[in-house]
Amino acid sequence: MNSLAEQVKQAHRITLIPGDGIGPEVTEAVVAILEAAGRKTGCSFDWHRHDAGADAFEKSGEYIPKALYQSIEQNRVALKGPVTTPIGGGFASINVTLRKKFDLYANFRPIKNLPGLKTNYPGVDLIIFRENTEDLYAGLEVMVVPGVAQSLKIITEKGSTRIAKAAFEYARKHGRKRIHAIHKANIMKLTDGLFLDCARKVAAGFPEIEYKEHIVDNTCMQLVLNPYQYDILLTENLYGDILSDLCSAFVGGLGLVPGANLGAECAVFEAVHGSAPDIAGKDLANPTALLQSAVLMLHHIDEPATADVVQQALEHVYGEGKTLTRDVGGSSGTRAFADAVIDAMSSTR
- Binding stretches for ligand ATP (CB under 6 A): 22, 26, 85, 245, 254-255, 273-276, 278-279, 285-286, 289, 327
Coil/strand/helix, residue 284: coil
As a residue count, the chain comes to 349
**Smaller CB separation from ligand ATP, 216 or 285:** 285
Instruction: Report the amino acid identity of residue 285.
Output: A
Alpha-carbon distance of 79 to 325, in angstroms, equals: 22
The residue among 69, 39, 36, 40 whose CA lies nearest residue 52 is: 69
CB of 243 vs ligand ATP, minimal distance in Å? 12
**Smaller CB separation from ligand ATP, 185 or 279:** 279
**Smaller CB separation from ligand ATP, 71 or 275:** 275
CB of 176 vs ligand ATP, minimal distance in Å? 26
CB within 8 Å of 147: residues ≥ 6 apart: none
Instruction: Report the amino acid identity of residue 271.
Output: A
- Using CB atoms, what's the residue nearest to ligand ATP? 274
CB of 37 vs ligand ATP, minimal distance in Å? 20
Residue 137 among the catalytic residues: yes
Alpha-carbon distance of 33 to 306, in angstroms, equals: 10
CB of 269 vs ligand ATP, minimal distance in Å? 15
Alpha-carbon distance of 33 to 45, in angstroms, equals: 12
Are 199 and 211 spatial neighbours (Cβ–Cβ below 8 Å)? yes
Alpha-carbon distance of 176 to 50, in angstroms, equals: 37
Residue 327 among the catalytic residues: no
Alpha-carbon distance of 231 to 172, in angstroms, equals: 12
**Smaller CB separation from ligand ATP, 81 or 159:** 81
**Smaller CB separation from ligand ATP, 160 or 292:** 292
**Smaller CB separation from ligand ATP, 52 or 185:** 52
Instruction: Report the amino acid identity of residue 301.
Output: I
Eight-class DSSP state of 9: P
The residue among 46, 162, 47, 59 whose CA lies nearest residue 103 is: 162
Give the ranges where 118-181 is alpha helix by DSSP (H): 157-174
Catalytic residue among 51, 135, 192, 241: 241
CB of 261 vs ligand ATP, minimal distance in Å? 13
Catalytic residue among 63, 137, 239, 318: 137
Residue 20 among the catalytic residues: no
Q: Is the four-CA dihedral 244, 246, 249, 251 of positive or negative sign? A: negative
CB of 288 vs ligand ATP, minimal distance in Å? 7
Alpha-carbon distance of 248 to 253, in angstroms, equals: 5
Residue 46 among the catalytic residues: no
Kindly list the catalytic residues.
Answer: 137, 184, 217, 241
